[in-house]
Amino acid sequence: MTTPDPWDDDRLAAAFTARNAGIELPPALVTETANAVRQRPTRRDAPWWRPLPIAAAAAVVVSVVGLSLAMSWRTGSSPAPTGPSASVPSAAPTDAETERVLGLPVIDVPAALAVRDAGEDDRELAVRGWYSPIFPIDTVCPAMYVRKDSPVQPDNCPIWWAVLMTEPVTEPESLSARRDAFGRPLVGDALEMDLDALDRSGLPVVRSAGPAEPTEIVVVGHFDDRRSRLCPPNVEQACRDRFVVDRIDQVAGEDQPLSQVVMHGGQATRSTLVDVEAAHALAAPDATILSVVTADNENIDAVEPTLVTDLSDLPDGSFYLPIRWVLYTLESGRPQTYTVTDGTNEVWRMDIDGNLFRVADPTVTPLPTEGPWPPEGTAFTVRITKDVDDRPPFEVAIVDRSDTLVGAREALEDDPVVAVPIDGTIAWVAAEPGDPRSIRLGWYGGNCDRHTIVTIDSLDSILVNPNVPSPCNVMGNDRSLILTYSEPVDAAAIDVSYSETRGESRVIDPPPTTAPALQDGALAVVGVDGGPGELFCNETFPVSGLTAPTGAEDRVGPEFDALRATLTDPGFADGAADIDALTWREAGRTDDIVVFLAEKPRNEDERYWLELSLRLEATGWQFIGGGDCQPRAVLPEGVGPATWILDPAYPEPTAQDATVHLLVTESACASGESAADRLAPAYVVASPYRIDITVGVHSRPGGGRCPSNPSVAVEIDLGTPIGGRPLIDPNAPPPDGTSG
């Protein structure tokens, strides 16, 4: 092997130049780009969004765009209003004294119109009326959409109208009359609603065959939206007259869930709705959240144009702009918008001009990290506060598995400057000047996480786990930790690694090197109650996946969108008719694989696991496989299988027993040596209808002859009474592996 030549700047520049020398500009690229720019004069014209859950309504509305733009049905000669239909019940009389929503008296449409026409008034109103989406009528569309400067600006060429009527008019389009090129005002006792920032999946959808059946609904919203001021002067009044709905409260008498609309692609939020609601509740206890939008910088102008960040204004260190949670709230009877920064959970209040003012420091916000904080085994918790490039403070939990760490703190201005070793890796260590027992630890990144776990495995091994993908951590340049050990430590010999996998350092234990598994005949167990260890069920996931929270089908994020789409996909559902009726757990994930599990009844007494896995492809999360599964232990590297039988020296276990006595036999050739000092902790995977016990043995160095191996008597505490469940040895060849 030869020593690589050093590359100086001139050599590097020449290589760069040579590398680019053969590049030819694709001949059509200029023309194609110019055309692309012309087709996208503004982002407002074609916002990309995706209601959650994916609404059939959206698909239907989109599907009729072409029809609505060119349609000629029900033109200006549309029939006169038909009035209430005898077959449809009229709207319930509104009693402001007895019916309230979120403390607001519920009024009817004429009362709402009276508020609108009485002058500028943006108070929140709860309005009951009849809803039926309709196609626009006799619309003359210009060749290209006219630019929209405000999210509340009426479409000049709408694909459908959302009308709230006093009565269940069966042909609500008759309430409309022609207006100018910027839209048409409605006449009669009906108002036009702006539902753009809401999940409309609970509402009836527009149909090509005619108006949907009118449905009685209660909505909470307001006129004179602050964003009306962004509208062009000639349509500002039309903007003010739109009833901007912040919450669909009831549909046909059914209470509706909080609306969440996702306006970002591919990138999952780091905070959860629970995080955001809690952070907001601390910062604005008097405000009630009416609806939520999560948007990235590319799409946020669809709801809040003032929040678009010019990429030329990116702050230091940031190639990353966090998603914003936009919260539309009711506060003191009026609409009030808040935003929460994804990941840090900073809470910001918006003024009438769309400017933000921070009202809550992220230190008071809940944890973005899954699981308890600090994690189990934490020896020190260090708060990093050094002010560098406006990066927020955050916490580091230091898990010491070496029992050698005696101190940990943040390196501050008064500490000596260390020469940071630069080798292209993200995390680094350096010797601490003047203290042979201390080292300096740091890592690079951007700015969005709140918690990082550092695991000291031994004197020469450190794992940094920021729990979020790079570059989304906040240590960055000029921030570091000082770790002090009980004995001198060689910084150069420390292997520091960096893992983005959420929670990895709490899942993976260092493999045992000796035989701590067997003490006084009792075999240690992993896999009980979410302990460490991995299982395999078409894909690998941690044991804790079996007890992960259910409800994944209701969570927010592109992978969960894909889960919902898969569950309702007719092709998938054919094999499991009620698969979408199950509740699912996120059992495990890597950067590009997510494994979901659900328990499905086999009969009245038995349940079994269903597995469904998704992979992140260039086009987004895609279903890659699924079906019945029986999770099996993944034995650690260097551990081979062993089989077991119930120890005949003991009585057969009863249903009340939680302890079993086994005779374990190593499967591999071991030259007849006992495995007593090489047993690995056993995996116990208990389900409601079976208990799997998987036993492994640390492999002997070198090969071995194959006389029969002696058995080792062990005792295992299952952690749960056996009940009527069979005990199963997954390593045993069928059919002898089942006992009890």
**Of residues 46 and 581, the one with the C-beta less far from other proteins:** 46
Rounded to the nearest 5°, which phi and psi values hold at 250? -140, 145
Residue 632 CB, nearest distance to other proteins (Å)?
A: 29
**Of residues 76 and 142, the one with the C-beta less far from other proteins:** 142
**Under a CB-based contact definition with an 8 Å cutoff, are residues 85 and 170 in contact?**
yes
**Of residues 108 and 342, the one with the C-beta less far from other proteins:** 342
**Of residues 356 and 722, the one with the C-beta less far from other proteins:** 356
Strands (DSSP E) contained in 62-166 are 100-101, 104-108, 125-131, 163-165
Apex 391 CA angle, 387 and 392, nearest 5:
90
Cβ neighbors of 386 (< 8 A, separation 6 or more) are: 410, 411, 412, 413, 478, 479
Taking phi first (over 0 means left), then psi (-120 to 50 degrees means alpha), and beta for anything else, what does residue 330 get? beta
Footprint of other proteins on this chain (CB under 8 A)?
A: 1-2, 4, 6-7, 9, 11-26, 29-30, 32-34, 36-38, 40-43, 266, 310-317, 319, 389, 422-424, 444, 470-471, 477, 592, 616-618
Residue 504 CB, nearest distance to other proteins (Å)?
A: 20
Residue 351 CB, nearest distance to other proteins (Å)?
A: 21
**Of residues 484 and 590, the one with the C-beta less far from other proteins:** 590
Tokens coding 540: 């690998």
Residue 420 CB, nearest distance to other proteins (Å)?
A: 9
DSSP string, 121-132: ----EEEEEEE-
**Of residues 18 and 140, the one with the C-beta less far from other proteins:** 18
Rounded Cα distance between 229 and 335, Å, is 16
DSSP code, position 239: H
Q: What's the gap between Cα 524 and its chain centre?
A: 35
**Of residues 490 and 592, the one with the C-beta less far from other proteins:** 592
**Of residues 389 and 435, the one with the C-beta less far from other proteins:** 389
Residue 388 CB, nearest distance to other proteins (Å)?
A: 10
Q: What's the gap between Cα 213 and its chain centre?
A: 35
Residue 313 CB, nearest distance to other proteins (Å)?
A: 7
Residue 497 CB, nearest distance to other proteins (Å)?
A: 16
C-alpha distances in Å from residue 731, one per residue of 528, 533, 535, 541:
18, 17, 14, 19
**Of residues 35 and 82, the one with the C-beta less far from other proteins:** 35
Residue 45 CB, nearest distance to other proteins (Å)?
A: 11
**Of residues 209 and 419, the one with the C-beta less far from other proteins:** 419
For residue 283, the surrounding DSSP H or E stretch is helix 273-283
Tokens 């116990």 locate to: 684
Rounded Cα distance between 217 and 8, Å, is 72
Cβ neighbors of 504 (< 8 A, separation 6 or more) are: 463, 465
Cα–Cα nearest to 526, from 504, 505, 548, 511: 511
**Under a CB-based contact definition with an 8 Å cutoff, are residues 691 and 684 in contact?**
yes
Residue 276 CB, nearest distance to other proteins (Å)?
A: 24
Residue 38 CB, nearest distance to other proteins (Å)?
A: 6
Rounded Cα distance between 584 and 588, Å, is 12
